[in-house]
Every structure is written in structure tokens, then in C-alpha cells.
Amino acid sequence: MRERKKPSKIHQMTHRFPAKEIALQSGLSTATVDRVLNARAGVSPQAKRRVETALRELEAQEQQLSARGRRLVIDVVAEAPSRFLREIRSSTERALSTFRPLSIRARFTFHETLSVPDCVAELVRIAKRGSDGVCLKARDVPEIRNAISDLTMRGIPVVTIFTDCPSSQRTAYAGLDNYKAGQTAGYLMSGLLNGADGTVLATQSDRGFQGEEDRLDGFRQQFSRSRPDVPILEVGSGAGLNRRTAEAIEKAYEKGTRIIGVYSMGGGNHGVIKTLTQFRQKPIAIIGHDLDEDNVDLLRSEALTLVLYHDLEQDMRTAIQHILAHRRVLPNAPPDNSLSDIQIITPLTIPDRYCP
């Protein structure tokens, strides 16, 4: 018995586009398109692929056109110092403008400090009132992971930003590779110290943030490899706020300790420098994160040696793309490995956007 020929992939594909439109999109003749769509003989593999590609492109364009009349609302929930929250807001607004003519509105829920119960309560409120997606900067703890799962079960995508909750059911993560950032800081610190003896101070805003834990792990691993003789004094719970960071350092500092370097993962750098000055400490190198207004001022005055920077606008654009792809407004989500580049900013290389 003669084996029946399997129908081609194109023949099985449903579509609602006229052959003329597919021909225009693919660059083929209408007759060739008709032969491909009806699985007739004498069609090259290249022609089939071009028709398949044209159909995918037309479907994506149709989705975008249908979304133009739709108003999307996303929620941005973050716990961070006010100076960094301002950067998140402005970066989000710039990122949203790149999706025009789509109409996307952001609702911001910002707190300098946000307890775990309060964060969970906010996510529960979002779940009840509805949202097209959530961009979330929060601590990686079981209660918040459970709240993320609840949002996901309700069909609301959650993209963690800048710091991840990797074991949650979040849709994606948008930000930098924090472990590699810590390794970069460790590599730079060991070179900047140039063999000096003493102690390196490493400060975090809160140990509940997975991103800062990853930075610290990367820093420890890289720095200790080249300078195993230099102890690391770890200080947390400053919330990235100047006063609280200063108080945390005062409690941890032991008289007679020589601080030769500082790796500040969570901010509060005015507090760091003020406290070390009170203890008559003048570190050889101070490495910070992010170009918020405090760090830009400290870089200009050369109080900071350098800052590890990632483009917040690009991070927010990536997060929004994940949400739009989940909502089928965009055909594809960014690749899972699309993390931000780590940029090293010195007093001489501050981007123009941050200059007066």
C-alpha cells in the first residue's frame, strides 16, 4: 500500500490573510504562495520557510494593531531609598514611551521600607483589583514568593526587577547578573588596594534581597581568591538609608581596625563616608552601585572611586516586554539570558544624562 504523504506544516496552519497580503510580506508571487498554502507539488523548501515567516510576521503585526486601542495597566512595586525610587520612576516612564502607540499606564507603589506583611498585602490588593502585570523589587522570602504564586495563578504576570526571587513562580527577571557584579567589584578592589593591609568593609541594605546576597557571594569569592589575607567586615540592615547605614557601621566597627576598602552594595554612601571619617578612616577605594543622585555627587567629588552601573531604563523595557509578550501584545518575550551589561563608571565617565 502506498504511504500517504503527510500534509505540510503550512497546510495545517490556519490563517486569515489574503494570498496577496502574504505574497507582499514574503516577497513571493501570489501563485507561489497559493501553491505553498495548498501543499501542491513543485514548491521549494525556501519558499515554504518564507511563507511561514510571513505568516508569523503578519500575525504579530495584527496583534500590535489590535492592541493600539487597548489600555494596559502595569503595577511597579518597589522597596528602596527614595533617591533610587526616583530613578526607577523616571526610567519606567522613559521605557514606556518607547512602546507608543501602545497605551500603557504605570501605577507606582513605592516605599523606602516595606515590611514583608505590608508587601504581601499590597500584592493581594493588586490581585483583587486586577492588573496587566507587576514589576516587583522585593525581598526573597516565602511569604512574598507565595504572593507571587497567587498572582501568577490569577493570570497576572510578575517580573522581578533588579533583585530576583528565583524559586518563585515569577514570569521572568529583568536586571543585571548580581553575582557577576560582585565578582567584578572583587576583582577591581583587589587591584585598587595594590597590596595594602587592612580590612575591607562590605555593606548591604537588607539581607533579604537576593540581589545583594548574590553580590556579596560573588565579591567574597573573587576578592578572597586574590587577597585571602584581607578580612571582610560585613554590615547589613542599613536599608540603603544614610542614617541607618551609619548606625549599622558604628555598631560593627571595632577600634583599631584599618578600613582600606569599601564595597557598598545597597547605598547609603553619604552615611558610609561620614562614619568612616569620624573614625579617621580613609579607604583607598570605595566601590558603589547605581547612579542615583547621591552617588553621582560623590563620584563628582571623587569621594567614590567608581560605581557599577546598569541601565535601569533598559531593565524596565525588558520587564515590560515580558509582560506584553505574556499578554500576547508582542509575539515574543526577551531571551531568558537577556541580563543588563555591567558598566564601570568613574568620575571621568559619568554619562551626559547625569551631568548638569
User: Do 71-175+312-340 and 178-309 show the same overall fold?
Assistant: yes
pLDDT above 70 (res 4) = no
Instruction: Kindly report the CATH class assigned to 178-309.
Output: alpha beta
Structure confidence at residue 1 (pLDDT): 43
pLDDT above 90 (res 33) = no
Long-range CB contacts (< 8 A, 24+ apart) of 25-31? 25/54, 25/57, 25/58, 26/50, 26/51, 26/53, 26/54
State mean pLDDT over 269-274.
92
Look up residue 19 and give its three cell numbers: 494570498
State mean pLDDT over 74-99.
92
Global confidence as pTM: 0.77
pLDDT above 60 (res 8) = no
Sequence spans of domains, the chain: 9-65, 71-175+312-340, 178-309
Structure confidence at residue 49 (pLDDT): 86
Dist. CA 257–CA 247, nearest whole Å:
17
Dist. CA 194–CA 244, nearest whole Å:
31
Structure confidence at residue 330 (pLDDT): 85
Mention every residue, 6+ apart, whose C-beta is less than 8 A from residue 306. 188, 285, 287, 288, 299, 344, 345, 346
Of 42 and 287, the structure prediction assigns the larger pLDDT to 287
Residue 264: beta bridge partners?
203
pLDDT digits (tens, 9 = 90+) for 156-183: 999 999 999 999 999 999 999 999 999 9
pLDDT above 70 (res 7) = no
Of the listed ranges 75-84, 87-96, 204-213, 219-228, the one predicted with least confidence: 204-213
Kindly state which CATH superfamily the domain 71-175+312-340 is placed in: Response regulator (3.40.50.2300)
For a pLDDT cut of 70, what percent of the chain falls above it? 92
pLDDT above 60 (res 10) = no
Dist. CA 266–CA 256, nearest whole Å:
25
